[in-house]
Amino acid sequence: MDYGHSERPAGATPLPTAIKILVAGGFGVGKTTMVGAVSETRPLRTEEVLTESGVGIDDLSGVEGKTTTTVAMDFGRITISDDLVLYLFGTPGQDRFWFVWDELALGALGAVVLADTRRLADCFPSIDYFEGRGTPFVVAVNCFEGARQYRLDEVQAALNLDPGVPVLLCDARQRESSKEVLITLMEHAMKTREARRRTALPAPE
């Protein structure tokens, strides 16, 4: 039945709000892993095998064990509450797929920028992109074994982040950890929107 307008009968369960979130960051940082870990449906992936033809183009340092890469996007879904469903879009990590980003970013409420402290600078392009678009984002440091642990304020300073941008640690393979990142992002995005709405309104008399 189509309850497209205001014809929904009293007492009918309201449709959940669907929100689009991007999961971004450098090559091999764990974007596909995170979307897969939190998604309650089988995630859609567009993985291609890394081949000899990528030698000299795809920088595998730090992720030598990696055999595939995302060429278009990852897609997954997570229900946060009865009235809130997040649709997750993982971006491709390599520079040669930048052209996909504008399509993916359309209508996104916010973004997770995943970072690997062994290759921290790889997340600069994502941060620049979201800062440029005014898209609220959080930085989630994916804790790979063997990577040096930095304090969150060190990461914040190294990335030259605005003090309001949340930085947190995560394990992209763990559902609960990834869910916490998404909830932090939602709270940050809501706060940012509220602050922007307030400054856009005329001051009260």
Ligand X SMILES: Nc1nc2c(ncn2[C@@H]2O[C@H](COP(=O)(O)OP(=O)(O)OP(=O)(O)O)[C@@H](O)[C@H]2O)c(=O)[nH]1
Residues that bind Mg ion (CB under 5 A): 31-32, 70
Please tell me whether residue 173 binds ligand X under the rule CB under 6 A.
Answer: yes
Which residues, including other chains, have CB under 8 Å from residue 91's CB and lie 6 or more apart? 22, 23, 24, 25, 31, 70, 73, 97, 100, 101, 104, 126
Residue in 7, 64, 145, 205 binding ligand X, rule: CB under 6 A: 145
CA-based nearest residue to 71, from 102, 52, 48: 48
The first and second tokens of residue 202, run together, are: 């005329």
Q: Which is nearer to Mg ion, 32 or 126 (CB)?
A: 32
The whole-angstrom separation of Cα 7 and Cα 55 is 58
Per-residue tokens: 185: 């992002």
Q: Closest approach of Cβ 100 to Mg ion, in Å?
A: 12
Told to check if 93 binds ligand X by CB under 6 A, we report: yes
Residue count of the chain, please give it: 205
Q: Which is nearer to Mg ion, 16 or 62 (CB)?
A: 62
Draw the binding track, 42-71, toward ligand X (x: CB under 6 A; -: no contact): ---------------------x-xx--xx-
Adjacent-strand bridge partners of 167: 139
Nearest distance from residue 150's CB to Mg ion, in Å?
24
Contact set with ligand X (CB under 6 A): 27-33, 63, 65-66, 69-70, 92-93, 142, 144-145, 171-173
